Structure 1
Amino acid sequence: MALTENCRIYQPPKDSGSTQTSDVIELNVGGQVYYTRRATLTSMPNSLLAKMFSSKKETSGDMARDTRGRCFIDRDGFLFRYVLDYLRDKHVVLPDHFPERGRLKREAEYFQLPELVKILTPDDLKRPFHDEYPHSDLDDISQGSDQRSYPASHRRYGFITIASTRDACVSDGKGTRLPKLFVCGRVALAKEVFGDAIRESRDPERPPERYTSRFVLTFGHTERAFDLLAESGFRLVACSSALTSPLYAPHTEDRQWCKCTEYVFYRLGLGTTDVEKQNLELETALIGAKGFESDASSDQ
């Protein structure tokens, strides 16, 4: 009877020294064999591995085993090495241009390792979007309006293009796909309209009279952007929508798509009578809008 109980965990002990090696566990993860210590697997008490390899769980006989009696886990055997690295040192080092970050994040979610999931989450998703907190929208708008108050005589003509992208890969962790709003146009006009709502990390220290297509708004409501543009005297003159495949699609398990909608706004300059100059501005803005979608997709 005692021999049967020992067989459930390891081979029957043949000498007294076997109790000293019982802390070493042999795992078969998706066909890849790993040797590790029980203390490593249980280092995160709330993780799935800690629950699986607690003494009560393992001696219950419910754990799956392969033909050689090794504990079997039906997950990605290649990526499990990074899970073990995290359990050992509480941090993980990935190779350069690692294409399996999304799948590794899914493995971390399966093994119930929230800190590892947070490490693998892109920085853009760690920063909370203002549209997740509707009660703060009015406060943000009122602050932005004070900073955007310019005399009417100082308002110049120009175009601003807003691109709304909803990428299937971008999630808030709750299954909701979050839109991103990109701004294309003259830097001075964009800052006049949106103020501190512009995130300039993608195109910092851009001169006011230069053009940009890399500004990102800190909120995700297109209607809020429309309100700010309307308050500044802009009118919608054109829009377009396209369904494109992101550049990183070949590195993902499933083919994923990105929907991009562009809205072109224009504002007439007060006291401006040079029609040729405005036509030249129109041509320049349309050329920038044409290449905006590919540039925004590459930034994703």
Structure 2
Amino acid sequence: MSKKAVTIDGFFDNEKSYSGFLTLGYRGTFAFGRDGQADVKFRKLHRILVCGKAALCREVFGDTLNESRDPGGEGAERYTSRLYLKHQCFEKACDTLAEKGFKMIASCSSGANGLAPTPHPMIAAQASNTQQDFMNQRNSGDLEEQRWAHYTEYVFYREPQILSN
């Protein structure tokens, strides 16, 4: 029985599989807000960001990876933080990582900013009532969403393995 070891560049011999770290991050909003009212949606995600070695990201996420913001080219050793997934289902992304042998090793999150500042009194005083009314109508939903906005990152790792035939 022959054994294959990981090469220096992170590839398994005769395989297209890497060891290494990947980070998934997303900016979202919590589902509750005004008066503690719960919404039917659990959370709102804008985009799932993917950070790590570019080749590892491609190997794991394949066609679901959007590379339009990362024109960096090829290279197994190139790191990037400019990739994102074409879907917004975080559970699907985690399932994909688990299927590919990754384990979550760390996470961090910024909490909601429930006490988002109101406009500065000097700025509010300079705007006419009509302008202020328009701004309040236009931004009231945005302001409420900003109050419950957060950013979360999860770090995943796949260990190098020795494969046998």
Same fold (TM over 0.5): yes
RMSD over aligned CA atoms reads 3.3
Distance 1:196 1:155 in 2: 16
Q: How many angstroms does 1:240 deviate by? A: 1.2
Equivalent of residue 52 in structure 2, options 181, 185, 190: 185
Higher Rg: 1
Equivalent of residue 164 in structure 1, options 26, 33, 54: 26
Q: How many angstroms does 1:263 deviate by? A: 0.8
Q: How many angstroms does 1:214 deviate by? A: 1.4
Name whichever of 224-233 and 236-245 sits farther off. Answer: 236-245
- Number of the residue aligned with 2:126: none
Equivalent of residue 61 in structure 2, options 172, 178, 194: 194
Matched residues, number: 114
- Number of the residue aligned with 2:125: none
Higher strand proportion (structure 1 or 2) = 2
Corresponding position: 1:259 with 2:121:
no
Distance 1:244 1:187 in 2: 31
Query: Secondary structure, in 3 states, of the residue corresponding to 1:224?
Result: helix
Equivalent position amino acid for 2:65 in 1? I
Q: How many angstroms does 1:253 deviate by? A: 3.5
Distance 1:178 1:156 in 2: 28
Determine if contact 1:183/1:190 at 8 Å carries over to the other structure.
Answer: yes
Distance 1:152 1:229 in 2: 21
- Normalised to the residue count of structure 2, the TM-score between the two structures is 0.57
Q: How many angstroms does 1:164 deviate by? A: 2.1
Q: How many angstroms does 1:222 deviate by? A: 0.9
* Structure 2, gaps ≥5 residues long: 1-11, 31-40, 114-118, 120-134
Distance 2:63 2:152 in 1: 23
Higher relative contact order (CA 8 A, sep 6+): 2
Query: Secondary structure, in 3 states, of the residue corresponding to 2:69?
Result: coil
- 1:7-35: per-residue Cα shift (whole Å, max 9, x none)? xxxxxxxxxxxxxxxxxxxxxxxxxxxxx
Q: How many angstroms does 1:205 deviate by? A: 3.7
Determine if contact 1:187/1:206 at 8 Å carries over to the other structure.
Answer: no
* Structure 1, gaps ≥5 residues long: 1-149, 169-174, 273-300
Distance 1:217 1:161 in 2: 12
Distance 2:112 2:62 in 1: 30
Percent of aligned pairs with the same amino acid? 40
Distance 1:154 1:196 in 2: 16
Judged with a 3 Å threshold, the aligned counterparts in structure 2 of structure 1 residues 153 and 196 are, in CA distance, closer, same or farther, namely closer
Higher helix proportion (structure 1 or 2) = 1
Distance 2:112 2:56 in 1: 29
